[in-house]
Amino acid sequence: MKSDKVLGQKVHEHLLQIGMETPMNSSPTPRTIERKQEIIEEAVTSIMNALDLDMTDDSLCDTPKRVAKMYVHELFKGLDYTNFPKCTVIENKMDAGMVIEKNIKVMSNCEHHFVTIDGVATVAYIPGKKVLGLSKLNRIVNFFARRPQVQERLTNQIWHALSFILETENVAVYVDAVHFCVRSRGVEDGNSSTITSKLGGEFMTDPAVRAEFMSLARG
């Protein structure tokens, strides 16, 4: 995947300005990827030792290293804006109407328990001057999902990023997801899912546009 760290930095600054960024420590000298992996590996080793797991076992001995690599390069890579996807926009010469991308896979992790959030997103916008490549909608959803999250913030971050890039408030985001902090622990409810939405512009003010989007998102 091609990335655009310049656009990523602009989106990051925009989210900071509106108070929608993921809570992060600010550091004048950010840790390198290698150092992050070292710290995580040490921490996972401590957790496993606290659970009295045998760290000499050939199935367990490399687990801290695997977890560290997974956190930095996969599950939480959306914390690093150098990974922000390159977003190709073109002039809306074709006078495109509503654009909807359905069933975008959402795979994230609850920031309260670091367990899985598994769901789908529907994203729509009404183009103004700009049209965004379809795959970029999926990539933006995935970028913000790949960090410790709460679904409410995830939904808003997707909306604000798209609104910023497309320069329009005519954006709608709908997320339906299962939270394993509810399914696998606590109340242990295997049937419920959580739905969040963020609507702007005509999706909020025009009942017909809102109804069309919600019907397609739920269908």
Catalytic amino acids? 110-113, 151, 179, 181
Q: Which amino acid is at 173?
A: V
d(CA 114, CA 88): 33
Q: What is the number of other CB atoms lying within 10 angstroms of the CB of residue 210?
A: 15
Q: Which helix (H) or strand (E) holds 125?
A: strand 116-125
Question: What token pair was written down for 100?
Answer: 């909807």
**What SS3 class is residue 108?**
strand
**Helices (DSSP H) in 51-189: which residue ranges?**
63-70, 134-145, 151-166, 180-183
Q: Which helix (H) or strand (E) holds 204?
A: helix 202-205
Q: Which residues pair with 196 in a beta bridge?
A: 175
By residue count, the chain amounts to 219
d(CA 6, CA 125): 23
Spacing of C-alpha 60 from chain mean position: 30
Q: Which residues pair with 108 in a beta bridge?
A: 117
